[in-house]
Amino acid sequence: MKFLDECKIYLQSGDGGAGACSFRRERFIEFGGPDGGNGGKGGDITFVGHQNLNTLIDFRYRQHFKAEKGHHGMGQNRTGGDGEGLEIAVPIGTQILTEDKDEILADITEPGQRVKLLKGGDGGFGNMHFKSSTNQAPRRADDGWPGQEMWVWLRLKLIADVGLVGLPNAGKSTFLAAVTRARPKIAAYPFTTLHPNLGVAYVDEREFVIADIPGLIEGAHEGAGLGDRFLGHIERCRVLLHLVDATEEDVAASWRTIRHELKAYGNGLDKKPEITALNKIDALTPEEIAAKQAQLKKACRRAVHPISGVSGEGVKDVLRLLDQTIQTAKNKGREK
């Protein structure tokens, strides 16, 4: 599946229908009076959060969205029908921004969440509406009110609880595949992952969403490798799982490189709780593991969890810890 996380689209809500100017004409009825009905309302443009989507790729093929116009009013007091509204399904985590990207107009964060962004124009009054004691045969009928139009940017910031970070080849995608039903591409070369993948992990009958993003390298914030644009997708995570490849020579340097990039990216990423894991321990002897663990611990000054995405060693403990951290962060959020 292709992935697209930013696109620009054109929206137009429906114009209102015009009111009618008409008079009742029947045999034997003199001065039948005005009977022009009102115009119908134009259709609205509404965004709806959709759980089964996780890319904006559909918008590459369609950029213009116009809701139906209201129907015109007619004689015999018939009101025009309302124009049909348009619903645009977007993935959870989609933000809608103004054309200059200065303002966030809406943020779709929940499945089924609906945001009516553009209202359709109201219908115009038919001449029936203008009838009064002093003007019993008005010829005035109004046009409908115009709908609204605008260009907007859609920006997807995936919503996950855990963000996986690490150098290319650290085993992020392997970890995701081991603990969720996601099937990301895995290979022994850097930059296998080219776009974020999501998966749902279960532990102790609770579930949370993990996002696997492309690996970072030194200078990612300046555009090196795939750059750091994918970090936007873990901005909303509650905890980061930092995987360090234990088969690397200098695990402390690997860890520092990533921390440096997170800091350079900003947006609160370096302030998020981090769980640090020494990955691929199945490839090392117990002595080597102990040495690498000590080396890494010295650099990051926090607990280092030895794990292996391939053999599954230590994985369950890390999942539990992630779950606890998520719960703590949620409770903290509630207290505020």
Ligand X SMILES: Nc1nc2c(ncn2[C@@H]2O[C@H](COP(=O)(O)OP(=O)(O)OP(=O)(O)O)[C@@H](O)[C@H]2O)c(=O)[nH]1
Q: Which is nearer to ligand X, 77 or 192 (CB)?
A: 192
Q: Tell me if 89 contacts ligand X by CB under 6 A.
A: no
Contact mark string toward ligand X, 159..188, x via CB under 6 A: -------x-xxxxxxx-----------xxx
DSSP string covering 81-113: PPPPPEEEEEETTEEEEETTS-SEEEEE-STT-
**Do residues 251 and 244 make contact, with C-beta atoms less than 8 angstroms apart?**
yes
Give the H/E segment covering residue 118.
strand 114-118
Distance (Å, whole) CA 35 – CA 75: 6
User: Quick one: what does residue 127 bind among ligand X, Mg ion, none, with the CB cut-off 5 to 8 Å set by partner type?
Assistant: none
CB atoms within 10 A of CB 230: 23
How many residues line the site for ligand X (CB under 6 A)?
24
For the CB of residue 15, give the shortest distance to ligand X in the complex, in Å: 49
4-28 burial: b if 16+ Cβ within 10 Å, else e: ebebebebbbbbbbbbbbbeeeeee
DSSP state of 74: B
The pairs formed by 133-138 with CB atoms below 8 angstroms and a separation of 24 or more are 136/31, 136/33, 136/34, 137/23, 137/31, 137/33, 137/34, 138/34
Q: Tell me if 38 contacts ligand X by CB under 6 A.
A: no
Beta strand 149-156 pairing with 162-165: unpaired
For the CB of residue 172, give the shortest distance to ligand X in the complex, in Å: 4
Name residues contacting ligand X, limited to 206-225 (CB under 6 A): 214-215
One residue of 192, 270, 314, 329 binding ligand X per CB under 6 A: 192
Q: Tell me if 308 contacts ligand X by CB under 6 A.
A: yes
Q: Tell me if 90 contacts ligand X by CB under 6 A.
A: no
Q: Which is nearer to ligand X, 146 or 190 (CB)?
A: 190
One residue of 58, 87, 270, 282 binding ligand X per CB under 6 A: 282
Q: Which is nearer to Mg ion, 41 or 172 (CB)?
A: 172
User: Quick one: what does residue 282 bind among ligand X, Mg ion, none, with the CB cut-off 5 to 8 Å set by partner type?
Assistant: ligand X
Where does this chain bind Mg ion (CB under 5 A)? 172-173, 192-193
For the CB of residue 149, give the shortest distance to Mg ion in the complex, in Å: 41
Q: Which is nearer to Mg ion, 3 or 23 (CB)?
A: 3
What residues line the site for ligand X (CB under 6 A)? 166, 168-174, 186-188, 190-193, 214-215, 279-280, 282-283, 308-310
